[in-house]
Amino acid sequence: MKKILHFFDKLEDSIRALLSRHDIFYAFIGGIAMVLFWRGVWMIADTITFLTPVISIFISVIVLLATGLFVSFFVGDRIILSGLKKDKKFNEKVAAEVKTELDTLKDIQNKMNNIEQELKMMRAEMKSGAPSK
């Protein structure tokens, strides 16, 4: 059993490495596989006679709540963790990071302009033969 798992683990690694170089093709393969998987689940559920829409929802909510996937899937881990840490909203954090980066870039631009001015002055002094500072 361990050899079989090891084989499929290595196979998965090599296939992922190959497909990761072709993003769009990888997305199509993944999308098709997901649709076929859920189609199979749906068809199996259709063959079970007592699974009415209400019972299906009831069973799925119970299972999702019991496994902790309900909130995680519908709300998302990032939102829950940021709420517990009392962080800013993700979009606010991104906006703050962009503003900080913009300020840093402006500072770098100012320094570059100063260096450029100093170089121009040094060149002018060298051309005129005047001693530099």
Residue 75 has pLDDT above 80, yes or no: no
pLDDT digits (tens, 9 = 90+) for 21-72: 898 999 999 999 999 999 999 999 999 999 999 999 999 999 988 988 887 7
Dig out the tokens for 48 from the structure: 């079970």
Q: What pLDDT does residue 133 have? A: 54
Rg of the Cα trace of the chain?
Answer: 30
pLDDT tens digits, 102-123: 889 999 999 999 999 999 999 9
Run of H or E residues at 37: helix 23-47
Q: What pLDDT, on a 0 to 100 scale, did the predictor assign at position 14?
A: 92
Please name the residues in contact with 110: beta carbons below 8 A apart, sequence gap of 6 or more. none
Work out whether the CA dihedral 73, 78, 82, 87 comes out positive or negative: negative
Q: Which two tokens stand for residue 32?
A: 């098709």
pLDDT for residue 102: 85
pLDDT for res 129: 75
Question: In angstroms, rounded to a whole number, what is the distance separating the alpha carbons of residues 58 and 16?
Answer: 36
